[in-house]
Amino acid sequence: MTDSNSLLSSYEELVQNHVSQFDPRIADLQQLVKTRMQELRDAEKTLVEAQAIELKRITDALATDARCLLPTPELRAFVQELKQIKNNNWYARKSEFSIADDPTSWLLITVELPIGLSNYQTQEDPDAYDDERTYIRYSYTLSLRLGSVEHLIEVPKKRIYNLNECTETNMKEQIDYYISDEVGGLFRNMEYPDEQKQQLTQEISVLVGYATKILTLTPKTAIFEYVSTREE
């Protein structure tokens, strides 16, 4: 019978040889990666902080008067894209007024009515119920101020019933149905002709919808995925 010690001795010698050759080199490589990543983070820090400062300036401007977005080419492109989206849900409201492609020609720009947008937050309700069954409800809230009147808006984005069933509201549905309802409610007690109220409601709703894309921005940071080597 072969001695088990002698049977394993060659294998164990090879293992030790492997350890002596590669473990120190892998440890050096891991330390090098950590060092380089820290150097990158240190170099990136100033730029990330500058982005955060700029985003704070933008959110402050939106809180003061979101109409500062009206002359921007990004909003104009958003309006044009929005008009190409079709609503498939039966509850989605069809727009009664057609707003101009160029936001600088909107009625909104001519009225003395500051539009403040602030306090954007995402929400999750794991126990939502729709009269038939429960689901996970994802939404966002933000504070809308029209002149001296302020109101908290909540806009649903997604429902998850189970692993195989999920429904989402696109941006047009969010604007035409949820946001428009909230904005229209704020105009009920304001002294504007009905036609102007409806036009302003639509324009402000689109402005709010676009502003949420800005309020969700965060500073961009470098991403490096590193999987540590392990022995097998």
More confident residue, 85 or 19: 19
Confidence of residue 10 (pLDDT cuts 50, 70, 90): confident
Task: Tell me: pLDDT of 95 over 60.
Answer: no
Rounded Cα–Cα distance for residues 17 and 191 (Å): 87
Predicted confidence (pLDDT) at residue 63 exceeds the cutoff of 90: yes
Percent of the chain with pLDDT over 90: 54
Residue 67 contacts residue 114 (beta carbons within 8 Å) = yes
Q: What is the mean pLDDT of the chain?
A: 88
The pLDDT value given to residue 96: 46
Buried b (16+ CB within 10 A) or exposed e, 125-156: eeebeeeeeebebbbbebebbbeeeeeebebb
Task: Indicate whether 97 pLDDT > 90.
Answer: no
Q: How confident is the model at residue 98 (pLDDT cuts 50, 70, 90)?
A: confident
Is the pLDDT at 93 greater than 60? The verdict is: no
- Band (pLDDT 50/70/90 cuts) for residue 4 is low
Least confident of 92-106, 138-152, 215-229: 92-106
Q: What confidence tens digit (pLDDT) does each residue in 145-174 have?
A: 998 889 999 999 999 998 888 989 999 999
Q: Among 5-9, 41-45, 87-91, 227-231, whose mean pLDDT is lowest?
A: 87-91
* pLDDT band for position 6 (cuts 50, 70, 90): confident
- Cα distances from 80 to residues 101, 170, 193, 210, in angstroms, run 6, 15, 27, 12
Q: Give the burial string for 191-201 (b: 16+ CB within 10 Å, else e).
A: eeeeeebbbbb
